[in-house]
Amino acid sequence: MSRIQSRLRGVRRRTATVLQSLADAAAPPRSQHELRSSVGGLWDRMGSLQFDFLVAQGLGTDDYLLDLGCGVMRGGRHFVRYLDAGHYCGVDIDAEMIEGGERQLAADGLAAKGARLRVTDTFDVDFGQPFDAAIAQSVFTHLPLNSIWAALANVSANLREGGVFYATFFRGPDGPERLVPIQQPCEEGRQPVRTFAERNHYHYSPDDFRRLCENLPLEPRDIGDWGHPRGQQMMAFTRTGA
């Protein structure tokens, strides 16, 4: 690709981003249906998948759970129903998601379960008590590495010792091969997700996460496949005593 073509591509991408933010600012609030589509659809399946996974990992009804990038309660509604009142905390950068999440819990008859939902663009996950477990389902797939570091740092500061933070990611190679876009494996009949090193959707290698944890009180573990229909894999980060 010539230099001019590459510059034009950059200009096109930046123009599209500006136009998208202008359109977003002018758009009416998204309906519940649109919010569900924004988090990726598969409403029942992806809700149950994350709930069943955490219960299989030992999530108890008296545990405190943090849902980072909780969206519109696709998983949250299952967790809120299961956990003791006040034990579910969800954060999201998108205020419309949090408002939609509150509406969803009310519609499900779960308003009295005292879920604590918060809008944050700084990964502010301090809810005044340590968490036993945390999950970020389909969130690291949208974040650059420094944001992931910030998320890991803030979550680790609010996990009890031995508590585990589960986060899904798209797997990619370590080293320069990462720069080649990847067609992620997925279930037959689904459109595969294309992932990149430097833009959304991102792919990472487990070694990327290991390096991020070098200065954090977290022990990373590569769980791998956990049944995600679009090929997202699972990492676990256990809070150490350090």
Ligand X SMILES: C[S@@+](CC[C@H](N)C(=O)[O-])C[C@H]1O[C@@H](n2cnc3c(N)ncnc32)[C@H](O)[C@@H]1O
Residues at the site binding ligand X, with contacts judged by CB under 6 A? 39-40, 46, 69-71, 74-75, 91-94, 97, 123, 137-139, 142, 147
Of 9 and 142, CB closest to ligand X: 142
CB of 135 to ligand X, least distance (A): 7
CB of 2 to ligand X, least distance (A): 35
Of 74 and 113, CB closest to ligand X: 74
Closest to 134 in 3D by CA, of 121, 119, 123: 123
CB of 12 to ligand X, least distance (A): 24
CB of 51 to ligand X, least distance (A): 10
- Token pair for residue 130? 């340590």
Of 94 and 208, CB closest to ligand X: 94
Kindly list the distances between the CA atom of residue 62 and the CA atoms of 56, 85, 131, 164, 237, in Å, as whole numbers in the listed order: 15, 9, 11, 15, 21
DSSP string, 135-188: EETTSGGG--HHHHHHHHHHHHHTEEEEEEEEEEEEE--SSGGGGS-EE----T
What is the DSSP secondary structure assignment for residue 204, as one 8-state letter? Answer: E
What is the DSSP secondary structure assignment for residue 216, as one 8-state letter? Answer: T
Of 92 and 208, CB closest to ligand X: 92
Q: Hey, which residues does 46 pair with through a beta bridge?
A: none
Distance CA 227, CA 189 (A): 15
CB of 120 to ligand X, least distance (A): 6
Distance CA 223, CA 207 (A): 13
Of 2 and 122, CB closest to ligand X: 122
